[in-house]
Chain A
Amino acid sequence: MRRSLLTLAALLALTAPAFAQTPIKRQPDGKPDISGMFAADHGGANYGLEKRAATNLTPGGRGLVIDPADGTLPMQPWARAENEARKLPERGYDDPTAHCFVAGVPRSVYAPSPFHILQPPGYVVLLFERMSWRQIPLDGRSHLPDSLRLWQGDSLGRWEGDTLVVETSNLNGKTWLDELGGVITHQAKVTERFIPVDGDTIRYEATVNDPGAYTRPWTIMMPLRRQNSELLEVACHEDNQDLGHLKDVRDAAREAAKKKP
């Protein structure tokens, strides 16, 4: 029996995560080396940033908003109404990621797929498994002209001590913050902080300042964990049967609305 317990202990030791903290790796210039595969903790935050109960088909939300302190996003009334409307099944068709568009900022980081951080000289590059990317120059350049609007926006980075700060503007306002229809407009400026905690953990914070939809800036926080994996192919357009099903739901709701007196 003792031997079987030892065998079991050995098995568990092989499969259990390493609890000992690994030191933060450094680049030759002394800045943190945060390269490698990472994913947002607990499958990310694609199911909403505010705390919410689970249903059979939507996992519960842990509540990732650290500012305001009550965990509620400070939405303007129209944005709250739009967010509630997007939760209806007939609005599922409208989520850009259902059409395989890129997830935008900050959603790309916490969509439920891992991403690869690269640190070539002068840049930080994020390669997302859903086959999109963000290239973040660190050379102090200025943002693009305000007339240019992009799905992933224009991101510029800098190091503040051991924290990588990334400021993003020039967003197109067409993305959703999550599957539940969180609102973000083209006026948004997003400040992300990648704070190495140890060699395998990054504290990720994103402050969204969007006067188009919110009454004040707000901040979310989640851990990013190193993954023992490599990027796999997710060619989203290959067989997107879901879109047809979601369109059926939308069309049925439109027909029902027409028949209402």
Chain B
Amino acid sequence: MRSGALQTTLGWIGAAMVCVAQAATVAHHSFAAEFDDNKPVKVTGKLTSMRWSNPHGWIYVDVTGPDGKVVNWAFETSSVNALYRAGWRREDLPVGATLIIDGWQARNGTPTANAYSITFQDGKRLFAGSPAGAAGTPSTPPASK
């Protein structure tokens, strides 16, 4: 197999893996009631922990602001059963990893958001099961804040 063809094939495999990592939207409550469509957020931070808990997973990242102040943001994911079926595993998210996370901020104004996607430094991207990525719905990533 020529190297170009190999790359093409690997590209298709990669595309299939990205699809696998797309968690289904599984919420037990209204995301639109808890989070604000008009408050897109996009942060770069260091992962401090991930809670594989029910009814939703939570990703915590330390984000350093322009003033040097560090704020620990909490990003909600789809339910952990949906993440697991989509291929997410604990080792995908090592503490200390630098992540770019986008989503929508909570209506209560706290540093809490519904996660849309997580991008690693190597460009790998996981989708967290935001309704924006739901089947049959145009996927609309949030704009940068």
Contact = CB atoms under 8 A, between A and B. Distances in A.
Interface of A: 1, 3-4, 7-8, 11, 15, 42-43, 46-47, 54-60, 62, 88-93, 95, 97-98, 100, 112-113, 129-130, 179-180, 229, 232-243, 245-246, 248-249, 252
Nearest to B20: A15
A106 to B, nearest CB: 17
A246 B34 contact: yes
B64 interface: no
Given A56-B131, A89-B107, A42 B37 contact: no
26 contacts: A7-B1, A43-B134, A43-B135, A55-B37, A56-B131, A56-B140, A56-B142, A57-B131, A58-B30, A58-B31, A59-B134, A59-B135, A89-B107, A93-B33, A98-B28, A98-B30, A112-B26, A232-B85, A234-B81, A239-B53, A241-B58, A241-B74, A242-B76, A243-B29, A245-B110, A252-B107
A58 B112 CA distance: 18
B34 A92 contact: yes
A56 B9 CA distance: 33
Interface residues of B, number: 52
Contacts of B85: 229, 232
A92 B29 contact: yes
A60 B137 contact: yes
Contacts of B84: 232
B79 interface: yes
A249 B33 contact: yes
Given A229-B85, A239-B51, A57 B136 contact: no
B12 to A, nearest CB: 6
